[in-house]
Amino acid sequence: MPTQKILSIIGWVLSGLLGAALVMTAGMKFFPPEEMVKQMKDSPLLGWILIIGIGELVSTILFLIPRTSVLGTLLLSSYFGGAIVASMMQRESILVPAIFLVLIWTAALLRLPE
């Protein structure tokens, strides 16, 4: 197997895993668990949670479709940039959104070497 093909397969596997995780977290925004609502009760983002979930879901779908994956990568980069800023404002760790962001860039680079 050529090296580029192996890298592409790794990129697709990583994209699939990221896509599954992002669809799950978007679903949690459509039907937020009670503890999530309690945790966010004072946050101004609570009123926007459905819109945020829709944006996350649309961005993920665009990321997974080969023809629109560049746009999806840009949108997810913006989404996770916002997640990093929101975490910083809440004085929470930025580690999880930063890791997701790096994994998205890595998957995109492996899938789209051009």
Q: What is the mean pLDDT of the chain?
A: 90
Mean pLDDT computed over 33-39: 76
Query: Position of tokens 């949690």?
Result: 28
Q: Residue 40 has what pLDDT?
A: 72
Q: Rounded distance, CA 21 to CA 57, Å?
A: 11
How many residues in the chain? 114
Of the segments 4-8, 37-41, 43-47, 97-101, which one has the largest average pLDDT value?
97-101
- Residue closest to 8 by CA, chosen among 110, 106, 104: 110
Mean pLDDT computed over 57-66: 96
- Give the rounded percent of residues in the chain with a pLDDT score beyond 90: 68
Q: Rounded distance, CA 65 to CA 59, Å?
A: 10
- Specify the amino acid at residue 50: L
Q: Residue 1 has what pLDDT?
A: 61
pTM (2 d.p.): 0.88
The CA radius of gyration of the chain, in Å to the nearest whole number, is 15
Mean pLDDT computed over 50-55: 92
E-state strands within 1-114: none
